[in-house]
Structure 1
Amino acid sequence: MKLINKSILTVAITLSTASVYYAQEVKDTAAKSKDIEEVILRGVTDIAKDRKTPVAVSTIKAAQILERQGNQELVELLNTTPSVYATKGGGGFGDSQLSIRGFESKNIAVMVNGMPVNDMESGTVYFSNWTGLSDVTSTMQVQRGLGSSKLAIASVGGTLNFLTRSADMKKGGVVRLGIGNDDYLKTSFAYNTGKSQNGWATSFLMSRQAGGTYVENTDYESYTYFFALGYQPNEKHNLQFMITSSPQWHDQRSYAPTIGNYIKFNPDHDNTPYRQYNSDFGYYTDSNGNKVAVANAMNYYAKPVMMLNWDWTISDKSTLSTVAYMSNGRGGGARNLGGIAGKGMSTFYDNMGHYNYDQIFAGNAAINPVTAPANSTLIRSASVNSHNWYGILMNFQHKINENWNFSVGTDDRYYYGYHYQVLSDLYGASGYKDNANKNAPNRLVTREYDYKKLTWNPFGGSTAPMDERLSFSNDGEVLWYSGFGQIEYSNEQLSAFVQGSVSNQGYQRIDDFVLPGSTQQGQTIDRKTGFKNLFGFNIKGGANYNLDSNNNVFANIGYYSKQPLMSAVYPSNQQVVNPNLTNEKIFSVELGYGFKTGDFNAKVNLYRTEWKDRFYRRGNIANIDGNGNTGYSEVSGITQLHQGVELEANYRLNQFVEFNGMFSWGDYQYKGNATGSNFLDDNTPVAINGNNTSTLYLDKVKVGGSSNNSIPQMTASLGTTVTPVKFLKVYGTWQYTGKIYSTLNVADFLSPGNEALELPNFNLFNVGASYKIPLKNQNQYFTVGVNVYNLLDTTYIQDGATNIKATDKITSNSDPDKGKTYEEAGRTYKGLADANRVFFGFGRTWSTTLSFNF
């Protein structure tokens, strides 16, 4: 089950003279949206500049974000850029998935104004915790490949950088109202004081978003608050303070249903998939006879961030930028514990594929948990993943002469993560007896934690009492020290750079349920493992040469020795360090060509990235042991080869019509074989062919996703914007996704010859329009916008979680078609076995907005 991301979104809004000045409120989205090449970019922010920085880059500007996002996920706007695939994941609010060049978010450096935000334990970023970015982002830039950042970050597939609003924006404000399908409602208010004569400036924003998504029972509520205070006492010093957060709760669809169940539980019974189907909730009957929906999968989180930025212009040639920040993230996600007479949640489905909570409540009520054995009631728990994160980033830059520059700096962080379970819903039971805590076995827990109570206080408590914790309780402590440097040369024709970084990452695991003198894997263990320090480095360089005013070429090359994530250091959730621990090695090379005129721009890129010694863990695998139990797999020794070509172009026909398009083709495959191990959720090994560790025959297998998601290897889009009259814009986009490969299932590659499951290709069309209504005061105007997504209501599979072939035999003893292949039994959908677990994409959805600028 996907839990919340503990990563800090270190929203270092370093928007000052030595950092980033970008984006006054877009006064005319049609004509006055600043080009990113005009922005002064120094300090901690590494933004690629056209015809200068030798990397493959695409930019989404403020106007496009304001006009086209609506009730989409923010990252979905990136689907019109090459080699990027963003989906809605399970369909819950903010549960989007992102990949670039076939690499998932934990191997993409997600940054805000140059600050790394990937989780320091798992590397992942879950955007549900940062839905407020859509309110404060002025520009998104995607650098594919190793990118231009000087930091020692996980930019294997690329870098996604968000540039946000500043305290120094022009005086004024905006009020917005948005409505859409499934009760979507969003309201926001923002105001900027402008800079006073004494050098003070203030900006603040507040918004609320609530409703549901296209999927059944995915209600949510989210707030965003943002406050920035800037002070520039003189030309040499600029100070900025900021605090922001987006506390939210949302009900989820975290488990991908089978294709057969999408069809079986369609209320229309027309043998087509019911795309809204959600198996992660059900109903109970209240005292008035009304059916009340109960969510079994949910997420709640708040990640307040505070930062202080100081930019010091030491001289005409030297600057020093310093950012100090902190974040205390609080929240968790759901899972089930226990059972009724040995029966888990999956045995209580009704005839429409939802949980029958009347049966669950009645079964729990009949049990006395005081006298019954441990785990004898069926409950919902919340897996808490809170954290405290503190960091400082410093960057010194010096201009040697007109052509040469160098910079050096440090990026230092401390992280402490809290991981445990608490009771979320007793489902009618009088208590739950837990025996996992060896310090207090067989204790009765009765306190329920309400996930809909949003956390606003950044200094609030991070932990629950030890006697209220269930199933597990462990903490992760991470120390990160790094240094970086860069030297660059540039003139009108040539720009080149060489940069490198070194880092030490120390991991410590702390398990509160470990008793003194305990053993694991034949070793005596303690509550604290002590820090395991890992050294890493990277070096990269590149050059861009402008052949003339229209043509340019570039190349870059880089090598990373990247520390593995915490799950690889302490595998199987145990206190023993992996004896085969090794750094991951990434080697990448890229070539590019650009052509630019006043009306036509085009870019072509060729790339090759090899990633060795990869380790990954996949959780929430159903029936991993053949006895109905869930578990996880750990795979080591993986090598992946990603190579491809990308094309991006735009053409302005005249003042009324503009076209833009892209095409990307990739070849992502495994190179050589790997080793896999399976475990139950309680860390019990699951034997495969008599052994816990087995060879996985992955050589030349296409790369798919790693957790209920898919990787496409061909994408294309074509869009047009028409301005028939002043202030009116109408736009449409066609998107194509092909060569889509489902999540790798470890058990399917125990013998040679298997292939990854390829999902059907699909096409989507989105349309929209916006109209500006100016008032007599030129600084005041209304804007009306409307968007329709998936205009043709296309039915398509966006993500796959399994690898079952149509030619595979049905093996379940309870299935009447046992022994037949899915083809022979007539149980296929668009060539796929109907036992495959997938997420269908949303059908036709819509949103409209009204805003007033003043």
Structure 2
Amino acid sequence: MKNFKNLLLVALFFATAAVFGQTKITGKVVDETNQPLPSASVMVKGTTNGTSTDYDGNFTITANSNSGVIVVSFVGYNKKEVSFTSSKTSLGTIQLTEDANTLDEVVIQGVIDVAKDRETPVAVSTIKAAEIEEKLGSQEFPEILKSTPSVYATKSGGGFGDSRINIRGFNQENVAILINGVPVNDMENGRVYWSNWAGLSDVTSAMQVQRGLGSSKLAISSVGGTINVITKTSQQKEGANVSSSFGNDGYMKYVGSYSTGKLDNGLSASFLFSRTQGDGYVDGTKFLGYNYFIGVGYKINEKHSLEFTFTGAPQWHHQRSYAEKLSLYQQFGTSNDPNIKFNPAWGMYKGEEFSLRRNFYHKPVMSLNYDWKISDNSNLSTVLYASWGRGGGSGPIGDVNNIRDYDFRLRDAQGRVRFDDIAKWNAGGNVPDFGADRTSTINDRKNGLTRRASMNSHNWYGVIANFHKDASDNFSWDVGVDLRTYQGIHYRVVSNLLGATGYTDNRDKNNPNRSITSFVDPSPSFNPWANITNQQKIEYYNDGNVRWLGAFGQVEYKNDDVSAFLQGGISQQGFQRIDYFNLLVGSQKSGYENLMGGNIKGGMNWNINEAHNVFGNAGYYSKQPFFGAVYPNYNNNNTSVGLTNEKILGLELGYGYRSENYNVKVNAYRTSWKDRFQRTGGSAPGNFVDFSGIEQVHTGLEIESTGRFGKLTVDAMLSLGNYQYVGNVTGTEYDQNNAVVGVSGTTYYLDKVKVGDAAQTTARIGFTYKVSDKLKFDISQFYAASLYPSISASSFKTQVDNTQGSLKLPGYALVDAGVSYKFNLSEKVNARFRLNVNNLMDTRYISDGFTNIHATAGSTTYKGIDVNNRVYFGYGRTWNASMKFSF
């Protein structure tokens, strides 16, 4: 018994010593610009005890001694050691020297769900604001993500903001885009128009691409992945920035911002305004855009804080919205040197650039975030948000003596639209090669050529609330709601009569034979609440209403080595269509078609040791189809009979290696997508085909790595994918009057055909050499192969079509280069110069294809491609130089 008592005394002594020997250490890690550095590694030197900084750069770690050294490091930053003692536990701000590398991970804050390296078991890549600011230049916002695996981004037609992005072979309609945790995909069709977010790069503090299931708790179906953009907040450090940049084809951009910092009364504010304009790389794509950001924060006390943000980007730009045949690019260039800038949608009108295709829009987003720290282990985060979209895109309607707008008889020798001649003929004048003179100068949908505008406005309101509870040191759980209501407002207006004296419309059954007397200027209104009710509509007028009721929950377990989560969500989407033109008053509203959907996903990460970790995840989505599937062929017929949810099953395994100067990530995935609805073009202009039951399977391998070798940093990525359809499908074709063409339920032969619209193989290697703290150079090469056109299922009507498969477009490699120089003008003023050159070698390449015409023995070809195929070329060499001053 005595020996046992002695043993207890010894155990009690060591336990007491351990308790009193523990030291709780706090601090904040920032980069060279004093911005928080999320997820920097913080270790107690000589131990395996470590943690990571949170999104604000803060950390807390408990050391089992009264003194020692904290080691702060991050790949791409110089390691720093800081001593601590029992009397010095608050280490203050620790600044790391940046080495031009990307941020690797950020953590969860508020309703924002972003992944943390070696903890959240998903495939993720993060780009920090510094890299966006340096390397984006005059490129489109999504293009900065081309450095990440399985991402394919192009400029599409080349108009300002007309870019698009694919992740793992899925287009952006099926990629969840979140801004500060708030979804922005259109609630009717899932689309994201980057021109509406043209100024987003100015206000982004970090952007994370989560490929596959992602870490979002919302009941959203991110088939390909999730792009989470985290914007600046009001609580930036005090100071101001002024920058300007210039580039090819008249590109000019000016940005000014100011932040108050956190004031003594708890208030803080940040403001930003920018203006961008240019002539556009593609002919006839002039543009003008603005961007504004207002952030106001108020820390009420230690438990309650508010953050208000309001940001928008009103813009207009001329477009090349239709991919032409290769032969046409050659016609206005040479057979071996096609004119990749050719655009047949524009010309000169009254001495100024004028385009049939002009996009104009303003979609501001307003949000109010409320964070309540209920206790030390629980908090509630809520965001109320609203978005108002106003604008649309213009196009032609009518003809000139049965000569349609796409006919080259309406163009000159350079391929430009003869707007002055069209206006002369519309006004009753004589234009000999247009045929007979007009007998009337009043246009309608068939007689006379008019520029109309298709308006797609909306009102969107929502709330997301998330309650988080730390049940113990290892377990936590979350529960929340996602509620939204959306009204899409669709109609056409007259934009420009092009010399005619009036316009009549007979498409409204409730008000036939109307004379249109007011016209809409195709420019964005800075007023997001502009009255659109009184605009005179033509052609069609309908609303699409969507109600979203969502709930979600998550449980998570974490210890020093293992982290695991299980998440589930459920949503009910209600769809209603209101048709003001085709249906008589009293019968214009459909009932709500309510569809249930949801998801369940889980994963686990195991940190084998400080260097190695493995993870896996799996998930299943039951995804409601988009609005067009609920109300096919543009009428109010409910389609509950036979309407089914799309089913997505995702599986993923990953491995990571991390050291002070090198890291690597490897991911393998398989995504199955069944019962997909798709609407594509038909066999004649204006026709369309509705498909249901499409299945496709996407598998792939992704590798990305970063290494630091003295002053040289090397980053590389490789993604190998195999995306193809499984099984044949049935589809029904409709003509312009929504009448069935041919046989309803025709078979289309898709089995084992490659899915198009993205390169299935991509690779990149980049080198950054830091000559000094002030000067650095970077160069990279991006490679894309196994690229197939964005073809529709309607291209495979026969077994022969199936045997030929998808047309394979030529692969290509692009080199980008840049140089940065920083210098101090005074103690409080510093400056940065940056020069970017994209496609340094001026490589000519096809970035997008839209047809599936295989070359035969008698075909005329370009790089092996039949010249009857419709394509977009990517940009040639472009450049951008910028100067930024910080005060």
User: Which of 631, 652, 661 is the aligned partner of 2:687?
Assistant: 631
User: Deviation at 1:139?
Assistant: 1.0
Q: Which amino acid aligns with 1:783?
A: R
Q: Distance in 1 between matches of 2:348 and 2:96?
A: 46
Q: Alpha carbons of 1:372 and 1:781: their partners in 2 closer, same or farther (altered >3 Å)?
A: closer
Kindly provide the CA deviation profile for residues 463-522 of structure 1, in whole angstroms up to 9, marking residues without a partner as x: 343xx21111110111000100000000010000000001000000000012339xxxxx
Check if 1:380 corresponds to 2:436.
no
Q: Percent identity?
A: 47
Kindly provide the CA deviation profile for residues 796-849 of structure 1, in whole angstroms up to 9, marking residues without a partner as x: 000001111112xxxxxxxxxxxxxxx415x11011110111000000000000
Check if 1:665 corresponds to 2:720.
yes
Note if contact 2:577-2:589 (Cα within 8 Å) is conserved in structure 1. yes
Q: Which residue of 1 aligns with 2:572?
A: 504
Q: Distance in 2 between matches of 1:240 and 1:140?
A: 20
Note if contact 2:103-2:127 (Cα within 8 Å) is conserved in structure 1. no
Q: Which amino acid aligns with 2:593?
A: K
Q: Distance in 2 between matches of 1:42 and 1:461?
A: 37
Matches within 5 A, 1:516-527: 516=584, 526-527=587-588
Q: Which residue of 1 aligns with 2:61?
A: none
Q: Which residue of 2 aligns with 1:677?
A: 732
User: Deviation at 1:631?
Assistant: 3.1
Q: Which residue of 2 aligns with 1:650?
A: 706
Kindly provide the CA deviation profile for residues 270-329 of structure 1, in whole angstroms up to 9, marking residues without a partner as x: 641111101111234x4xxxx543201111000122111110000001100111111111
User: Which of 687, 690, 695 is the aligned partner of 2:747?
Assistant: 695
Q: Distance in 2 between matches of 1:21 and 1:533?
A: 41
User: Deviation at 1:637?
Assistant: 1.0
User: Deviation at 1:371?
Assistant: 7.6
Check if 1:411 corresponds to 2:458.
no
Q: Distance in 2 between matches of 1:851 and 1:739?
A: 40
The more displaced of 275-284 and 354-363 is 354-363
- Give me the CA root mean square deviation: 2.2
Q: Which residue of 2 aligns with 1:837?
A: 870
- SS at the partner of 2:876? coil
User: Which of 726, 735, 747 is the aligned partner of 2:782?
Assistant: 735
What TM-score, normalized to structure 1?
0.89
Q: Alpha carbons of 1:392 and 1:372: their partners in 2 closer, same or farther (altered >3 Å)?
A: closer
Note if contact 1:22-1:39 (Cα within 8 Å) is conserved in structure 2. no
User: Which of 194, 202, 207 is the aligned partner of 1:127?
Assistant: 194
- SS at the partner of 1:262? helix
Note if contact 1:584-1:613 (Cα within 8 Å) is conserved in structure 2. yes
Q: Which amino acid aligns with 1:847?
A: N
User: Which of 815, 819, 824 is the aligned partner of 2:858?
Assistant: 824
User: Which of 828, 846, 853 is the aligned partner of 2:879?
Assistant: 846
User: Deviation at 1:686?
Assistant: 3.1
Matches within 5 A, 1:251-266: 251-266=318-333
- SS at the partner of 1:345? coil
Kindly provide the CA deviation profile for residues 41-96 of structure 1, in whole angstroms up to 9, marking residues without a partner as x: 23211111010000000111122111101100111011111000011010000001
Q: Alpha carbons of 1:488 and 1:765: their partners in 2 closer, same or farther (altered >3 Å)?
A: same
Q: Which residue of 2 aligns with 1:398?
A: 469
Q: Which residue of 1 aligns with 2:496?
A: 425
Matches within 5 A, 1:582-593: 582-593=644-655
Q: Which residue of 1 aligns with 2:339?
A: 274
Q: Distance in 2 between matches of 1:40 and 1:489?
A: 16
Q: Alpha carbons of 1:776 and 1:337: their partners in 2 closer, same or farther (altered >3 Å)?
A: closer
Note if contact 1:255-1:279 (Cα within 8 Å) is conserved in structure 2. no
Note if contact 1:21-1:40 (Cα within 8 Å) is conserved in structure 2. no
User: Deviation at 1:265?
Assistant: 0.9
Q: Distance in 2 between matches of 1:38 and 1:612?
A: 32
Check if 1:172 corresponds to 2:239.
yes
Check if 1:610 corresponds to 2:672.
yes
Note if contact 1:264-1:271 (Cα within 8 Å) is conserved in structure 2. no
- SS at the partner of 1:529? coil
Note if contact 2:149-2:762 (Cα within 8 Å) is conserved in structure 1. yes
Q: Alpha carbons of 1:201 and 1:38: their partners in 2 closer, same or farther (altered >3 Å)?
A: farther
Q: Which residue of 2 aligns with 1:472?
A: 540
Check if 1:463 corresponds to 2:496.
no
Q: Which residue of 1 aligns with 2:697?
A: 641
Q: Alpha carbons of 1:316 and 1:441: their partners in 2 closer, same or farther (altered >3 Å)?
A: same
Q: Distance in 1 between matches of 2:491 and 2:253?
A: 33
Q: Distance in 1 between matches of 2:417 and 2:680?
A: 26
Q: Distance in 1 between matches of 2:359 and 2:239?
A: 36
Q: Which amino acid aligns with 2:450?
A: I
Q: Distance in 2 between matches of 1:126 and 1:22?
A: 32
Q: Which residue of 2 aligns with 1:763?
A: 813
| Unaligned residue ranges in structure 1 (runs of 5+) | 1-14, 518-524, 705-709, 808-822
Q: Distance in 2 between matches of 1:637 and 1:648?
A: 35
- SS at the partner of 1:134? helix
Q: Which amino acid aligns with 1:477?
A: N
User: Deviation at 1:334?
Assistant: 1.5
The more displaced of 718-727 and 410-419 is 718-727
Q: Distance in 2 between matches of 1:110 and 1:99?
A: 12
Kindly provide the CA deviation profile for residues 332-357 of structure 1, in whole angstroms up to 9, marking residues without a partner as x: 01122122222210222333222222
Q: Alpha carbons of 1:574 and 1:515: their partners in 2 closer, same or farther (altered >3 Å)?
A: closer
Note if contact 1:174-1:190 (Cα within 8 Å) is conserved in structure 2. yes
User: Which of 271, 274, 277 is the aligned partner of 1:204?
Assistant: 271
Q: Which amino acid aligns with 1:615?
A: F
Q: Which amino acid aligns with 1:355?
A: V
Query: Which structure carries more relative contact order (alpha carbon 8 Å, separation 6+)?
Result: 1
User: Deviation at 1:685?
Assistant: 3.3
Q: Distance in 1 between matches of 2:853 and 2:476?
A: 55
Check if 1:749 corresponds to 2:749.
no
User: Which of 746, 764, 775 is the aligned partner of 2:825?
Assistant: 775
Q: Distance in 1 between matches of 2:297 and 2:584?
A: 52
Note if contact 2:107-2:113 (Cα within 8 Å) is conserved in structure 1. no
Q: Which residue of 2 aligns with 1:541?
A: 602
Q: Which residue of 1 aligns with 2:62?
A: none
Q: Which residue of 2 aligns with 1:147?
A: 214
- SS at the partner of 2:375? coil
Q: Distance in 2 between matches of 1:597 and 1:670?
A: 40
Matches within 5 A, 1:24-63: 31=98, 41-63=108-130
Q: Distance in 2 between matches of 1:73 and 1:131?
A: 8
Q: Alpha carbons of 1:356 and 1:277: their partners in 2 closer, same or farther (altered >3 Å)?
A: same
- SS at the partner of 1:355? coil
Q: Which residue of 2 aligns with 1:303?
A: 363
Q: Alpha carbons of 1:316 and 1:374: their partners in 2 closer, same or farther (altered >3 Å)?
A: closer
Q: Distance in 1 between matches of 2:638 and 2:865?
A: 41
Note if contact 1:423-1:446 (Cα within 8 Å) is conserved in structure 2. no
Q: Alpha carbons of 1:680 and 1:241: their partners in 2 closer, same or farther (altered >3 Å)?
A: same
Matches within 5 A, 1:1-80: 21=56, 31=98, 41-80=108-147
User: Which of 237, 245, 249 is the aligned partner of 2:312?
Assistant: 245
- SS at the partner of 2:421? helix
Q: Alpha carbons of 1:802 and 1:548: their partners in 2 closer, same or farther (altered >3 Å)?
A: same
Q: Distance in 1 between matches of 2:876 and 2:724?
A: 31
Larger radius of gyration: 2
Q: Which residue of 2 aligns with 1:350?
A: 412
| Number of residues of Structure 1 aligned to a counterpart in Structure 2 | 787
Q: Which amino acid aligns with 2:324?
A: P
Note if contact 1:309-1:321 (Cα within 8 Å) is conserved in structure 2. yes
Note if contact 1:680-1:686 (Cα within 8 Å) is conserved in structure 2. yes
Q: Distance in 1 between matches of 2:242 and 2:95?
A: 16
Q: Which amino acid aligns with 1:316?
A: D
Note if contact 2:398-2:444 (Cα within 8 Å) is conserved in structure 1. no
Note if contact 2:550-2:570 (Cα within 8 Å) is conserved in structure 1. yes
Q: Distance in 1 between matches of 2:57 and 2:183?
A: 19
Kindly provide the CA deviation profile for residues 595-619 of structure 1, in whole angstroms up to 9, marking residues without a partner as x: 1111110011010000000012235
Q: Distance in 1 between matches of 2:736 and 2:173?
A: 22
